[in-house]
Structure 1
Amino acid sequence: MQPLVSVICLCYNHARFLREALDSVLNQTYQNLEIIVVDDLSTDNSREIIEDYVRRFPQIKYLPNAQNLGNCVAFNRAYRLSKGKYLIDFATDDVLMPERIAEQVAAFEKLDESYGILFTDAEFIDDFGNHLLNFYKRDKNGNLAENVPDGDVFAHVIARHYICSPTMIMRRTVFDKLNGYDETLAYEDFDLWVRSAPDFKYFFLDRILTKRRIHAAQMSQQQYKPNDKQIFSTITVCKKAQKLLRTEREKQALKKRVIHELIQAVFTRNFEATRQLYGLLQDLGPVPAKMKMLVAIHKLPFPFERTRQLYQQIRFGK
């Protein structure tokens, strides 16, 4: 018998994309699904769309929030009511390809219990569904052109964001051990990786099975902008990672991450985040001279944000 998969669909003002997203779940070739839709008090017409789907597809469980709770709390509310052996955290501005769950479950069922999370590649699309790029680099024949770490990934997830979180499927045992997402945080994926990777291995399935939509309203698109509060959640998770360090390699990985976040804090003139990150960097060992210099001048009337924007334009074309 197919194991039950709980697809937790999180919606906040996704009306433009909601029908395509929900159709992509309903059209999965995998049959044994528990579909739970949580609306986090949308202010557009998302609720009307969801209610229409619930009327037409009674297998959908609907949890409308009475107040805006944020992704972490909204997901946990559904997770604690769900029953699946596997869980998928699905934002309803993204799209699942028809074979996604079938292929992921088939791969997961071949792994032993030490593996807690399976992830894949993704296609990035714009508001209109047009192809932008793939998450991982591929050659002209579509073959993977970079190394994607799996297995013991703790040092890797500390150092850099290299997993496309919307592609993940997770064993329920991971969430049971962690007691769900940390509800004090503004976002969930970095904390999930840091807290789960010491105890569970990750598996990379070399397939493109999710379309990840990129649009201006996403929380991720607000990151590293002036006064962005997500950076304080990042600092909290870095401090959690510091307590979990086991090797010098992991310590250096965390130092790399802290330096990256410190640079972003300086260039967005987030003075309190700069202070906290610099203190964490000092705790991890000798501070590089360039970081000392950067922090020494970070309050001067220098156009740091404009410099960062120019760098982003040159490096990434945006």
Structure 2
Amino acid sequence: MSPYLNQIKPWVTVICTSYNHEEYVVEALRSVVEQDYPNVQLIVIDNGSTDQTAERIDDFISSYPSVEFIKNSINIGLNRAFNQGLALAQGRYVIDLSADDVLLPGRITKQTDLFERLSGPYAVVFTNAAYIDEQGQQIGLHYAVDAAGHARAKIPSGNVFQPILDAYFICTPTMMMRRDVLNELGGYDETLAFEDFDFWVRSSRLYLYAYLDEVLTFKRRLPNSLSTQVILPDNNLLSSTLTVCHKAFERCHTPTEFKSLAKRIRTFIRKAFYAEQFELALQFGQLLYSIEQPGLVTSLILRLSRLDLPINSLYRHYLKWSNQVIHPSGKTGLIHLELRKQIK
């Protein structure tokens, strides 16, 4: 396109990271190249896949020579892989796409148009999403919608620092982010096991978020997804979460913000206890004491954490039983888990 058109249609970089996504990666990449937006830079990073993912990518991009492809010989972690793509990004805006998710038609155009209309220090435009299963069948929505397709609840927008401390409410793959903000923050924190909570805490303290009320992404829910691993005793998600909670503590300004963080910490104390990461539960407790005195239930959990009780197996059986009793359908159970995670 001419330099003039490039100025009025800013470039958008999609960074697609893959790891053992051979069944889904082509659909993800096709959803990018078939967008109606003219200026899209696609960067694909295969993070040491042990299946045929890299071969599927090679076959696909043979028809799209402008696609940039990085092959990592080993899995270097999601955040470090994304930062590889960020170092090559030229777009004004960036989308972080997992190779098992799908952009719906018109997404880039709609988000870019909103970004360009916004005034003020906005860093993120996010949207609603539909959840799909392994076969691509829709199993629910991130935000429940009315007959017109609009979110039933009021979705936080603008200054979202406190809502982010209150609860998980943003569907991560729906975000379009300003590249200069990502660069200012140093990209994703490569010491962490995940990216979203940390990015939200660091960016929302400084910048605003805008919600676009449409379903513009398919988010795939898989049995081995990262969110399902938090109950496992050897997971490193909770230790990363403790690091982010310390960052949030340093950024809290008001009593209500500290109160929201304390509520979140109490949840993570329970999660660490159920995962038999007892020392970590006590470390969360120390941070909580910096804000408030724990209530009766939290104090009891912290005391029990000193006893190294074999609780994890029992807890996992309980989760399996509760999902079967409340939602016999496996698909509905996934939505129940998602909603329960948002409530917590």
Q: Hey, what's the Cα distance between the residues in 1 that align with 2:151 and 2:189?
A: 33
> 1:238–1:258: 8 Å Cα contact kept in structure 2?
yes
| Correspondence 1:64 to 2:71 | yes
After the TM superposition, which residues 219-234 of structure 1 pair with which residues of structure 2 at under 5 Å, given as runs? 219-234=226-241
Q: Cα RMSD between the aligned structures?
A: 1.6
> What is the aligned counterpart of 1:17 among 24, 38, 53?
24
The offset of 1:112, in angstroms, is 2.0
Look up the equivalent residue of 1:237 and give its one-letter code.
Answer: V
After the TM superposition, which residues 186-225 of structure 1 pair with which residues of structure 2 at under 5 Å, given as runs? 186-225=193-232
The equivalent residue for 1:271 is 278
Q: Hey, what's the Cα distance between the residues in 2 that align with 1:211 and 1:175?
A: 24
The equivalent residue for 2:109 is 102
The equivalent residue for 2:181 is 174
Partner deviation per Cα, 1:106-153 (whole Å, 9 max, x = no partner) = 111001240010100000000111010000122344332112101000
Residues 307, 281 of structure 1: alpha-carbon distance in 2 compared, 3 angstrom cutoff: farther
After the TM superposition, which residues 1-318 of structure 1 pair with which residues of structure 2 at under 5 Å, given as runs? 1=5, 2-298=9-305, 299-301=308-310, 303-311=314-322, 317=333
Q: Hey, what's the Cα distance between the residues in 1 that align with 2:164 and 2:28?
A: 28
> 2:230–2:275: 8 Å Cα contact kept in structure 1?
no
Q: Hey, what's the Cα distance between the residues in 2 that align with 1:118 and 1:36?
A: 20
Query: Where has structure 1 moved over 3 Å in runs of 4 or more?
Result: 298-318
Number of corresponding residues: 318
Partner deviation per Cα, 1:6-36 (whole Å, 9 max, x = no partner) = 0001011110001111110010010101110
Q: Hey, what's the Cα distance between the residues in 2 that align with 1:270 and 1:314?
A: 28
The offset of 1:263, in angstroms, is 1.1
Moved more, 253-262 or 50-59: 50-59
Partner deviation per Cα, 1:264-292 (whole Å, 9 max, x = no partner) = 11122221221211111111111111111
Moved more, 20-29 or 225-234: 225-234
Partner deviation per Cα, 1:233-284 (whole Å, 9 max, x = no partner) = 0000000100111111110110011011111111222212212111111111
Unmatched 5+ stretches in structure 1? none
The offset of 1:49, in angstroms, is 0.9
Residues 204, 55 of structure 1: alpha-carbon distance in 2 compared, 3 angstrom cutoff: same
The offset of 1:315, in angstroms, is 6.3
Partner deviation per Cα, 1:178-236 (whole Å, 9 max, x = no partner) = 01000000000000000000110000000100000001232222123222111100000
The offset of 1:294, in angstroms, is 2.0
Q: Hey, what's the Cα distance between the residues in 1 that align with 2:85 and 2:26?
A: 20
TM-score, reference length from structure 2: 0.89
> 1:123–1:133: 8 Å Cα contact kept in structure 2?
yes
Look up the equivalent residue of 1:306 and give its one-letter code.
Answer: H
Q: Hey, what's the Cα distance between the residues in 1 that align with 2:163 and 2:266?
A: 15
Q: Hey, what's the Cα distance between the residues in 2 that align with 1:26 and 1:272?
A: 47
Partner SS state of residue 125, structure 2: strand
The sequence identity of aligned pairs, in percent, is 37
Look up the equivalent residue of 1:238 and give its one-letter code.
Answer: C
Partner SS state of residue 109, structure 1: helix
TM-score, reference length from structure 1: 0.96
Q: Hey, what's the Cα distance between the residues in 2 that align with 1:300 and 1:35?
A: 49
Partner deviation per Cα, 1:151-175 (whole Å, 9 max, x = no partner) = 0000111221100010000011211
Moved more, 1-10 or 220-229: 220-229
Partner SS state of residue 117, structure 2: coil
Q: Hey, what's the Cα distance between the residues in 1 that align with 2:303 and 2:186?
A: 41
> 1:224–1:231: 8 Å Cα contact kept in structure 2?
no
